Structure 1
Amino acid sequence: MNKLVILICATAFLTSCSSSQNKNKTEKVVNPETFATTITASELKDMLYTYASDEYEGRKTGEVGQKKAIEFIKNIYQTNNIPSPIAKDDYFQDIPASYFGSGIKDSENVIAYIKGSEKPDEVIIISAHLDHIGISNNGDINNGADDDGSGTVAILEIAEAFKAAEKDGNGPKRTIVFLHVTGEELGLYGSRYYADEDPIFPLKNTVANLNIDMIGRIDPKHEESGKNYLYLIGSDKLSKELHNLSEDINKKYFNLEFDYTYNEDDDPNRFYYRSDHYNFAKNNIPVIFYFNGTHADYHKPTDTPDKINYDFLETRAKLIFYTAWELANREERLKLD
């Protein structure tokens, strides 16, 4: 009789433990849509109208407007209590003039991060270039709203979403790095400096790079359909798993048209080699380059904030956030082919 009582009690205890464990597992499933709601067209628009204003003088590398740009980015991170990995309140990775040559002055990358809660040594880098081409010889200011103001403000909103998750006790398992690079228009200098000279986080620990360069406009090819889209470049070059993950995230949340035209090995535009992701890819780090294609205002004074499709920009930024979320929180590190 006593043995029967003991058996019943033991069974009840095990059932209770199992139920408690299952409950805990259920509680750990976090819906990133809760935090993606912080990414809004109105906030993107407010920031971009400042960042791509005449006051910033086209953000030419090393010049006054570019210095204003880095202060703008730094202030956003400080306001949102998103720290720098360099030192307290020091968000600038200084690049000396000697690195650029050709009369270019000292410049800076801007870096912020959210430390991973479980795998802090593994890093996801989200990048965009902060510079543009400055003032034309006739005095016209090239505001660079799409190139790459759109990528810059998208990262700032994505960072805010990850911070909201962290505040809610659901910070990313892996570290997320927000990297704003300078000197892209001169030849990918800022990203090359980070990768070749001073990687703040070891490249061997860098899981993936999601690079954003022009995601606020619509190119002529896609104007007629009216459907939101993105060109994706490089997603399958080093990791088929990254490509498949990216496709799955898109189908789950948005079902945008993913156009891989510029991803072909024989693409005459060679965009795979022409933006900052390449300095990570050359180091065997899987990348995705998000791009809306070129348009009539590319590298012209008419690339202004009023030309941006802010609803499209919001959705595209959310897509990148969801992709980064999955990369940061999945159990296994992304596999390199």
Structure 2
Amino acid sequence: MKKLFIPLFSIAVLVSCGTAKISTDAASSTSSGVKGDKAFVSAYKEISADDLKKNLYVIASDEMEGRDTGSPGQKKAGVYMVNYYKNLGISFPKALGSYYQKVPADFMKKRGGGNLPDSENILAFIEGSEKPEEIVVISGHYDHVGTRNGVVYNGADDDGSGTVAVMEIAKAFQSAKKAGKGPKRSILFLHVTGEEHGLFGSEYYTDNPVFPLANTVVDLNIDMIGRDDPENRGKQYVYVIGSEMLSSQLKVINETANKRTNNLELNYRYDDPNDTERLYYRSDHYNFAKHNIPVAFFFDGIHEDYHKPTDDVEKIDYNLLAKRAQLVFTTAWEIANRPERIVVDKK
């Protein structure tokens, strides 16, 4: 997640209804609201702590040199991700012609990106079976802050956790598709670059969308979901930011998905317009929200290793990471398969 918020045009932020106090009995993870939906249950179970850990130990390894925007280490991480999608049989958007969307150095420089080199967003795509023109975006940034004074900042949580979660969610949807139960709407798995320097990759995508923004139903953005913060130490929770800002339906869908699965405690603290962190504006979902596309940002909080070289893979809570990824998957599943696209009824 970007460390310093960029001054942006003021947007009215709605006051949340408070923190949802929900039982965290994970034993009921697939037993309530999805009875009879064998395709969902099978796909849901594809998201595992072991597989998340396996991928994160690569993405956030020293070999990737902290994944700074446009760096050789970031490109190595990108190759690993592309090969992962190829092995799953998940292709790229046909209109793009590859998994890579170039984000030019000039674009970033004009927005305060200094002398960053060219970089790339990585896009994988599953076409919908009934409403392929409508796009559900699941996003996360795969860059971090690189190496400083010879020390690698691995960014295991920021945002290695979100990167591998998007990859696992893609695997779950692809499993359903192979079973003949693919999503009715199309799913774009969007790994953006340049977030740490100024949300550049997501801004470039929304300025140069592969699919029309008018056809983009939602952005579910994942940025840091592998740890806990001091305020919530040991809890089964996740912060959800922005889910009721533009649509009256998105928050309800997400809460229903949560109750049907791991029943995490959903914390809406950062929806408070008086919160000084202003996190609604500080990750990649904002570049969709400013185009009036509903968003939900999933986040674990600001912990003691945030933007430090100690943000390492050994400190990730992989079981909690899996539960949070399953929540995003379940929310996306509902949005992708419901008869009508979610409404935009708030400004």
**Are the counterparts in 2 of residues 86 and 200 from structure 1 also a CA contact under 8 Å?**
no
2 CA distance for matches of 1:86 and 1:333? 23
Q: Corresponding residue for 1:209?
A: 219
Q: CA deviation at 1:230?
A: 0.3
Alignment partner for residue 185 of structure 2, among 167, 174, 188? 174
Of the candidates 160, 163, 186, which is equivalent to residue 174 of structure 2?
163
Unpaired runs of at least 5, structure 1: 1-27
Which of 147, 152, 165 aligns to 1:141? It is 152
Does residue 1:200 correspond to 2:210, yes or no?
yes
Contact in 1 for aligned 2:225/2:321 (Cα 8 Å): yes
Partners of 1:316 and 1:81 in 2: CA distance: 25
Provide the TM-score with structure 2 as the length reference: 0.86
Name the residue aligned to 2:302: 294
**Partner Cα separation in structure 2 for residue 254 and residue 207 of structure 1:** 25
**Do residues 46 (structure 1) and 54 (structure 2) align?**
yes
CA distance in 1, matches of 2:93, 2:38: 26
Q: How does 1:1-337 map to 2 (within 5 A)?
A: 30-86=38-94, 90-101=98-109, 102-136=114-148, 138-196=149-207, 198-223=208-233, 226-337=234-345
Cα deviation 1:121-140 (Å, max 9, x = unaligned): 0010000001000011x211
How much has 1:88 moved relative to structure 2?
Answer: 8.4
Query: What is the alpha-carbon distance in structure 1 between the residues aligned to residue 96 and residue 46 of structure 2?
Result: 26
Equivalent pairs counted in the alignment come to 306
Contact 2:49 2:319 in 1 (8 A): yes
* CA offsets 1:86-139 (integer angstroms, 9 cap, x no match): 468720001111111211000000001100000000010000001000011x21
Query: What is the rounded CA distance, in whole Å, between the counterparts of 2:269 and 2:249 in structure 1?
Result: 20
Match of 1:21 in 2: none
C-alpha separation in 2, matches of 1:248 and 1:109: 31
- Contact kept, 8 Å, 2:39 with 2:179, in 1: the verdict is no
> Alpha carbons of 1:122 and 1:261: their partners in 2 closer, same or farther (altered >3 Å)?
same
- Between the two proteins, what is the percent identity of the paired residues? 56
The answer to which structure, 1 or 2, has the higher relative contact order (CA under 8 A, 6+ apart) is: 2
Shift of 1:227: 2.6
> How many Å separate the matches in 2 of 1:96 and 1:159?
27
AA aligned to 1:66 is Q
Following the alignment from structure 1 to structure 2, what is the Cα–Cα distance between the partners of residues 86 and 65? Answer: 27
- Unpaired segments of 5 or more residues in structure 2? 1-35
- Are the counterparts in 2 of residues 83 and 89 from structure 1 also a CA contact under 8 Å? no
Q: How far apart, CA to CA, are the structure 2 residues paired with 1:144 and 1:280?
A: 24
- CA contact under 8 A between 1:147 and 1:298: conserved in structure 2? yes
Query: How far does the alpha carbon of each residue in 1:128-183 deviate from its partner, in whole angstroms, 9 at most, with x for none?
Result: 001000011x2110000000000000000000000000000000000000000000
Distance, in Å, in 1 between the alignment partners of 2:206 and 2:243 is 19
Deviation at 1:247, TM superposition (A): 0.9
Whichever of the two has the greater Rg, that structure is 1
Q: Any idea what SS the aligned residue of 1:320 has?
A: helix
| 2:205 aligned partner, one-letter code | Y
Relative to the length of structure 1, the TM-score reads 0.89
Alpha-carbon distance change, 158 to 49 in structure 1, aligned in 2, over 3 angstroms: same
Large movers: runs of 4+ above 3 Å:
28-31, 86-89
**Residue aligned with 1:289, SS:** strand
2:152 counterpart SS class: coil
**3-state SS, counterpart of residue 151 of structure 2:** coil
Aligned to 2:18: none
Deviation per residue, 1:39-62 (Å, 9 max, x gap): 110110011011100000000001
